[in-house]
A and B are shown apart, each in its own frame.
Chain A
Amino acid sequence: DSGVTQTPKHLITATGQRVTLRCSPRSGDLSVYWYQQSLDQGLQFLIQYYNGEERAKGNILERFSAQQFPDLHSELNLSSLELGDSALYFCASSGTTSGIGEQYFGPGTRLTVT
């Protein structure tokens, strides 16, 4: 168990809808990362937050947004969903006790857009 929790585990929704994925980092970790894993694109970095502030942005679509709250949990919002957004979304966290590149991954949320 990595200590990172993600809810829900599975999500099935229709095109055009909006969903929110939630992540709770390991206790004390200030950094949260979001990744998208799909068969064709592999594992892609979306966005990073550090102690409530956006720190780095990757291949995140404008339809997607994220935030990190004062209690350090994070939410990834996906709107105007398309079939191609179906993927596994991972959250990871790291903190002051983490080594270089050491991130702790949650079990993921599998999103299916129909």
Chain B
Amino acid sequence: GDSVTQMEGPVTLSEEAFLTINCTYTATGYPSLFWYVQYPGEGLQLLLKATKADDKGSNKGFEATYRKETTSFHLEKGSVQVSDSAVYFCALTHTGANSKLTFGKGITLSVRP
């Protein structure tokens, strides 16, 4: 079945540091890929997505590129802020809207002032 693997955490960075969070997936066909973010005490919210190979999703300074050849969707941000402290989940789904998501385990990011 489908699976998503994220790098082990937690990750602690200083403000303005560069961020990379690795994500790889195993799936049949051509899934759509997502990053969701969970701020403290809240539910998850969609951060960005890419629906086909070589697509780049971007939002709030975060970017991720759908790499089919390496089955990866790594999340990057050039300069993190304290407000980026949260748990980040990589996820995938098949076939259109209203389909279930398969999530990675999530990784906690803490950004120090």
Which A residues are closer than 8 A to B by beta carbons?
2, 4, 30-31, 33, 35, 42-45, 48, 50, 55-56, 58, 90, 92, 94-96, 98-108
Least Cβ–Cβ distance between A27 and chain B, in angstroms: 16
Bound complex: CA A100 to CA B31 (Å):
10
Contacts of A2 in B (CB 8 A): 43, 45
Do the beta carbons of B45 and A31 come within 8 Å of each other? no
B68-113 residues at the A interface, CB under 8 angstroms? 89, 91-93, 96-106
Contacts of B34 in A (CB 8 A): 101
Between A and B, how many residue pairs show CB distances below 8 Å?
Answer: 72
Given the interface pairs A43-B89, A90-B44, A107-B41, the reply to whether A100 lies near B97 with Cβ below 8 Å is yes
Given the interface pairs A33-B100, A45-B102, A56-B100, the reply to whether A101 lies near B93 with Cβ below 8 Å is yes
Contacts of B89 in A (CB 8 A): 43
Contacts of A98 in B (CB 8 A): 97-98
Do the beta carbons of A45 and B98 come within 8 Å of each other? no
Chain B, residue nearest A101 (CB): B93
Do the beta carbons of B49 and A99 come within 8 Å of each other? yes
Bound complex: CA A2 to CA B36 (Å):
13
A-B contact pairs, 7 of them (CB 8 A): A92-B43, A96-B97, A98-B98, A100-B51, A100-B93, A101-B34, A105-B45
Q: Is B17 an interface residue (CB 8 A)?
A: no
Chain B, residue nearest A95 (CB): B98
Least Cβ–Cβ distance between B46 and chain A, in angstroms: 6
